[in-house]
Amino acid sequence: MMSKLSLIVIVLLLQSCINNDIPYPTVNLFITDVEADGMIGRAAIVNDERTVTLTLADTVNLKKVFISKLTTTEGANSTLSSGEYINLTKTQWITLSLYQEYQWKLIANQTIERIYKIDNQVGVSTYDLKNYIGYANMVVNDIFNPEKATPKLSELKLGPTGSTINNIETTNPDVVWTWMNSYWTTKVKVNFRHFEEPQEWSLYIFPTASTVSTTSVDAWVNVAWLHGEGLEDNVNGFEIREASSQEWQIVNPSSITSSGSKFTARVNNLKAETNYYCRAYSGEDYGEELSFTTGKPVALPNGYFEEWHKAGKVWNPWAENGTPIWDSGNDGVTTLGDSNTQPSSDIRPGAAIGSQSARLESKFVGIGTIGKFAAGNLFIGEFKKVDGTNGILDFGKPFTARPTKLKGYYKYTTAPINYASAQYEAIKGQPDTCAIYMALGDWSEPVEIRTRPSNAKYFDRNDPRIIAYAEFNSGNSITDYTEFELELDYRSTNRVPTYLIVVCSASKYGDFFTGGSGSILYVDDFSLEYDY
């Protein structure tokens, strides 16, 4: 007869075998939304880096930020919950756990507008925020005896909106400047309701004889951005010349924008791959001469949609054995039906090259009621894999040029929206809308897109890594090919892109399985422009 001890040992061994033989499933856990009191816009969530950035108003106390909403992947446990206060003066870590643990970073982005202006100031003021110091430069008539000049403060704001200076709500406090052999200085106290104690700021003014500086140039292909600093009340501008010429040309004043003593010009119609010089002027004085070289235009690969090949049921928008640039959701669609993005001989009249266009059709794919709505789509990037009845895609291909426009031709047949996910039920029955958009960004890798609702990740036009963006939408049926132009809105002129994204869809909300069956978008003759 088996002893009680032997029975216990066998039971434990069996339990051990069960625990070892049945591994936990891997479930990626995501923060899908965060809201906080005093937040500006939406949270910027970067799933690949597990980072959430909150942009907060300048009046928010970063030591005590109230999290009003936090949502995660269903079933995930979080070390931070809605309704909690958190200190965001530094990065905070949030742990999401289910079968595994994932560490997420929560970061605050808070911008306090600081203004420090003096009469006869040259250039913009600079700040040492850690030590509460402000610096400014002032033109003096006698640079050998600068102490004879009298500094005058014209505007000052160093704290959040509503803060006080020397216990007074003012932007122009009375201060006494002290000459210190080579500069002037003064001190002010800045206070705000949640400051534990006033901030004591030191302000410095340095005398200079120079009234103007050519600070930098952002050279593109046929466009350059010139930056300078001068006297705010002077006539400020730029001159430019080709390196092969000695003749300076005045930049059209209408192209110049100013912010105080800082001014910028956008110069169009430059020659590609050409050496230039530029210089800023303020009144009758000139700044340094800076040299720059314009770039080389880069064509949009397969922008005429002439290169296709078919592998089984899947139409691929690149030549067989060619380099894939464009892709579509055909890999997912053909698991239940035929490709809904295909080449077409219906081209726009007078097409620049070739005899094919791209035809994108939205439709339900499946058998009977088993299946899913699939938007006709075409994008620069790669369809990575099928995820059940969903897809995982990589948007973007390496690209470093800075075009100003995307041009092309389209025609569209809209259909009533007859498929909609829960969040878009309200637009059922309305005409479907096509979408074409382009983005340039300084991503370190392609942008991953996931359409599975439990861990969805969609393209975010407010992604801080986007440098330039433009979008076109139409809900009207257009029977003839019509030209469109997407003028890129650059959020920065000195950042250089690393990736290019272009997306076309017969249904704007196709990522959410929402649209009209029978919506058809034709696109042809896409090109990048480098000046306007």
Tokens of 111: 């911008």
**Rounded Cα–Cα distance for residues 66 and 393 (Å):** 35
CA–CA dist 380, 439 (Å, integer): 11
CATH code of 309-529, in short, is 2.60.120.890
213-293 folds as: Immunoglobulin-like (2.60.40)
How far CA 163 is from CA of 17, 185, 193, 203, in Å, comes to 66, 22, 8, 17
Task: Give the pairing type, strands 520-529 and 357-361.
Answer: antiparallel
The per-residue pLDDT for 452 is: 82
The predicted structure's pLDDT at residue 6:
46
Q: Which residue has the tokens 């756990």?
A: 97
Q: Enumerate the CATH 2.60.40.2340 domain ranges in the chain, comma separated.
A: 31-110
Strand-by-strand arrangement of the 236-242 sheet: 249-250, 236-242, 275-282, 285-293
Domain 31-110 grouped into CATH 2.60.40.2340:
yes
First-to-last alpha carbon distance for the chain, in angstroms, is 95
Domain with CATH 2.60.40.10 in the chain: 213-293
Question: Exposed, middle or buried by CB within 10 Å (0-12, 13-18, 19+), for 148?
Answer: exposed
Cite the residue boundaries of each domain of the chain with CATH code 2.60.120.890: 309-529
Q: What is the pLDDT of residue 458?
A: 87
pLDDT at 15: 47
| pTM beyond 0.75, yes or no | yes
| Sequence-separated (6 or more) residues with CB below 8 Å from residue 507 | 362, 375, 376, 432, 433, 434, 435, 514, 515, 516, 519
* pLDDT given at position 10: 41
pLDDT of residue 14: 42
| SS3 category, 141 | coil
Query: How confident is the prediction along the chain (532 residues), in pLDDT tens digits per residue?
Result: 444 444 444 444 444 444 445 567 778 899 999 999 999 999 998 887 899 999 999 999 999 999 999 999 989 999 999 999 999 999 999 999 999 999 999 999 999 999 999 999 998 999 999 999 999 999 998 989 999 999 999 999 999 999 999 999 999 999 999 999 999 999 999 999 999 999 999 999 999 999 999 999 999 999 999 999 999 889 999 999 999 999 999 999 999 999 888 999 999 999 999 999 999 999 999 999 999 999 999 999 999 999 999 999 899 999 999 999 999 988 877 777 788 999 999 999 987 788 999 999 999 987 666 778 999 999 999 999 887 767 889 999 999 999 999 999 999 999 999 999 888 999 999 999 999 999 999 999 999 998 887 778 889 888 889 999 999 999 999 999 999 999 999 999 999 999 999 999 999 999 889 999 999 999 999 999 998 5
| CB contact burial 258-268 (16+ within 10 A = b; e otherwise) | eeebbbbbbbe
Token code pair at residue 402: 């800075």
For position 27, what pLDDT does the model report? Answer: 81
> Which string of b and e fits 409-423 if b means at least 16 CB within 10 Å?
bbbbbbbebebbeee
* Residue type present at position 186: T
Nearest to 84 by CA among 108, 96, 67: 67
